[in-house]
Amino acid sequence: MERVISIPTLAPRAAESHKGDYGRILLVAGGPGMAGAAILAARAALRAGAGLVTALIPRSLQTALATACPEATLIPLRRLPNSAEELAELAAEFDRFDAIGVGPGLGAGPWGATLLRGVLETFQGPHLLDADALNILAANPDLAATLNPQRVFTPHPGEFRRLTQELPCGDEARRVAAERFVDSHGGVLVLKGHRTLVTDGTRYYLNRTGNPGMATGGSGDVLTGIITSFLGQGVPPFEAACLGVQVHGRAGDLAAADLGETSLIASDLVANLPQALRERTRTKELPGTDPAAEESPS
């Protein structure tokens, strides 16, 4: 498997552009009582450049989302679809989005399982599965039976163990286990942790940004928003995942430099995303250059 050393940069925006040029993404997140996960993912997706971010949430979270993230649009559901016809009617809305992220705060009960099934069975575009979406898959492996090269999985070690019954330690063991996972599930795997690993089965990337202060609730929700945003902007899945983990970690490093690792919280990552992204964006004066040197490989 080929080791990837450099990761992509973002092109500067054209003078003549509109929000549709930068992706319309949907976040299926925030089950009952879990507004914070949806808020963090939505704010991160917007800061990562998505032109339009929509959150599919329980109606009970509508006020919280609209207040905390007024830039996002909402699809508030009073109840789950309770028939195939109702689910098909909801799923028909998915086609208007360029990418979908599923999982943060979703819950692993009927609410989350029904919505995840709707996405997996009807949406053919790039999509990311995180958090409770992965826990649902672990309990219902048939849901991901169809191999989809545009699917991105983002488990932390505990979620990876539930999916595979493996808990590899060390870079090489993690790489081998990740390759096995992609061989059987397709798509792109982001195996989170110290030196997060990204692979599509033929290439892999070991990230070197980030710090222990990012071991805090909501950090993964921010990463979901970032990568889904890049997918919606047309960045291919492997490149979107590599770029996503790099800027996510870099935002954490910027936050830690200012606040220290102990006090770092997930919203600090969102606050530092603009600077992290500026470092990964090509300048208009020097198109094609990489303003941020990649970390030196080991």
**For residue 67, what is the domain's CATH number?**
3.40.1190.20
Q: What is the total count of domains within the chain?
A: 1
Asked if residue 85 is part of any domain, the answer here is: yes
In angstroms, the CA 266 to CA 190 distance is 19
**Residue-wise pLDDT tens digits, 9-66:** 999 999 999 999 999 999 999 988 899 999 999 999 999 999 999 999 999 999 999 9
pLDDT of residue 133: 97
Asked if residue 154 is part of any domain, the answer here is: yes
pLDDT of residue 285: 53
In angstroms, the CA 120 to CA 87 distance is 12
In angstroms, the CA 74 to CA 86 distance is 18
Give the count of beta carbons closer than 10 Å to the beta carbon of residue 146: 12
- For the chain, what is the radius of gyration of the CA atoms? 18
Residues 191, 240: contact at Cβ < 8 Å? no
pLDDT of residue 176: 96
Which one, of 126, 102, 122, lies nearest residue 30 by Cα?
102
In angstroms, the CA 57 to CA 34 distance is 10
What is the enclosing helix (H) or strand (E) of 249? helix 237-259
Asked if residue 230 is part of any domain, the answer here is: yes
Asked if residue 206 is part of any domain, the answer here is: yes
200: tokens are 């599509």
Full residue range of the structural domain in which residue 105 is found: 20-279
pLDDT of residue 236: 97
pLDDT of residue 278: 97
Residues 248, 298: contact at Cβ < 8 Å? no
**Residue-wise pLDDT tens digits, 213-222:** 999 999 999 9
Asked if residue 205 is part of any domain, the answer here is: yes
Asked if residue 292 is part of any domain, the answer here is: no
Asked if residue 294 is part of any domain, the answer here is: no
pLDDT of residue 146: 78
The residue ranges of the chain whose pLDDT is under 70 are 285-298
Provide the whole-model pTM: 0.94
DSSP 201: S
pLDDT of residue 101: 98
pLDDT of residue 10: 92
Asked if residue 83 is part of any domain, the answer here is: yes
Q: What is the phi/psi pair of residue 159, to 5°?
A: -70, -35
HSE on the CB side for 38, CA within 13 Å? Answer: 36
DSSP 235: -
